[in-house]
Amino acid sequence: MFKGFEIGQIPHLMILGSHIRQSIGDDPEKQRIQEHYLEQLPYSLVASATALLNIAGALSDAPKHIPPFPREGTSAGIVLLPEHIRNVMGFAIDSYFDAARRTQNATCIYISKVFKISIPSSMADTFKDIEKGKICLPDNIKDIIIGYWNKDGLKVKHYRDLVQHHVVVSSDARLVLLPGGGELLYLTLPNNPTEKNPAQLKYIEPTIDAFRYIFSSFMMLYEYVFYITYNLLNYLPVPDHETMSIMFKSPLTVGSNKPEGYPLPNVNNVIEQILKHQGAIKSRVSNKL
C-alpha cells in the first residue's frame, strides 16, 4: 500500500484543498460536508496507483505458480494459467478501471468547488456539457479536460463499463515459456470496449497487452489530475495558511471509560467460520435433494 501511496501523490493537492476550505468559511458543518467531497480525489488516485502495482505484482509472480517444464529444442511452450492465478490478475485489472473512473469523476468536484458552479458528478457528462456549451470554463481548464478525455478518459470509461456490467475482460492468461529460459505473459484486453455483446469482443488485430495499456493509462490519468489541479490553483486566492481538516464520520470520544471499537479479525478464524457456514448451507440443500 505504501508504494501505491507514494506514486499516487499530487504535491500541490493539499494546497488546493486549503484554498477551497478557506473559501467556504469556518462553519463546522459546511467544513464537515466539504471533507466528504475533497477526500475522494486523493483516495481514488492512490487506489489507481495501488491497483497498477498489484497488476504488476500478479503478473511477475505468475511463473512461481507453475511446475517446472523442460525447455528443449527451439519451440516455445504455452501454459494456460489456472483459474485462481488469472483471477488475481483480473481482480487487480477490474480494480484499476473502477479506481481510475472514480478519480476522473472526483476531479469534477474540485472544478465545481473552485468555480462555484454546478456540474455533473460524472466526467463523461461534464465533457458532454462542455461540448454543448452548457458549462462555461476558462479555456485552459477546458483544454485539459477535453485533451485527456479524448486521449484516454473515454476509453477508461468504456473498459470500466464493460467489466462492471458485461464481461470478465481478462480471463485468458497464458504463460509462454521461451526455449533456454525466460517467460512471456499473454494477457490482453478487448480492442473494441464499446461493444457490449461479449461474443463480439475482439482480442486480436490489434492485440492490446493488458499491462502496457493500464500502465500508460495510469500515466495519462496522473498527468491529467496533476495539471487540472495545478491550473485550478490560479482561480482561488492564496490562503494565509494551510488548512487541513480531519473530519470523523461519527463523534470521537477521547479517554472514554467505554472505548468504542471491535476486535481485530483473525484471518484463519474468518476462513474457518465462512467454510463452516458454507458447509451448513450445502448440508441443508443436500438433505432436500
User: Can you tell me the distance from the alpha carbon of 23 to that of 232, in angstroms, rounded to the nearest whole number?
Assistant: 13
Least confident of 53-62, 141-150, 251-260: 251-260
In terms of C-beta distances under 8 Å and separation of at least 24 residues, what long-range contacts does 54-60 make, across chains too? 54/92, 54/95, 55/89, 55/92, 55/93, 55/96, 55/210, 55/211, 55/214, 56/211, 56/215, 58/85, 58/88, 58/89, 58/92, 59/89, 59/185, 59/187, 59/211
Which residue from 156, 158, 148 is spatially nearest to 225, judged by alpha carbons?
Answer: 148
Note the helical H segments in the chain.
Answer: 2-7, 13-23, 28-38, 40-61, 83-115, 123-132, 139-148, 154-165, 210-232, 267-288
Taking the model in full, what pTM does it have?
0.84
Q: What pLDDT shows up at residue 104?
A: 98
Residue-wise pLDDT for 174-197, tens only, equals 888 887 777 888 899 999 999 988
b/e string for 100-139 if b means 16 or more Cβ within 10 A?
A: bbbbbbbbbbbbbbbbeeebbeebbebbeebeeeebebee
Which residue from 49, 67, 62, 124 is spatially nearest to 90, judged by alpha carbons?
Answer: 62
Residue-wise pLDDT for 136-177, tens only, equals 999 999 999 999 999 999 999 999 999 988 888 777 888 888
Bridge partners (DSSP) listed for residue 177:
77, 183
Listed by start position, the domains of the chain span 2-288
- At residue 246, does pLDDT exceed 60? no
- DSSP string for residues in 250-266: S---SS-SS----PPPP
Least confident of 23-27, 92-96, 119-123, 209-213: 23-27
Q: What pLDDT shows up at residue 249?
A: 58
- At residue 76, does pLDDT exceed 90? no
User: Can you tell me the distance from the alpha carbon of 234 to that of 16, in angstroms, rounded to the nearest whole number?
Assistant: 10
User: Can you tell me the distance from the alpha carbon of 23 to that of 21, in angstroms, rounded to the nearest whole number?
Assistant: 5
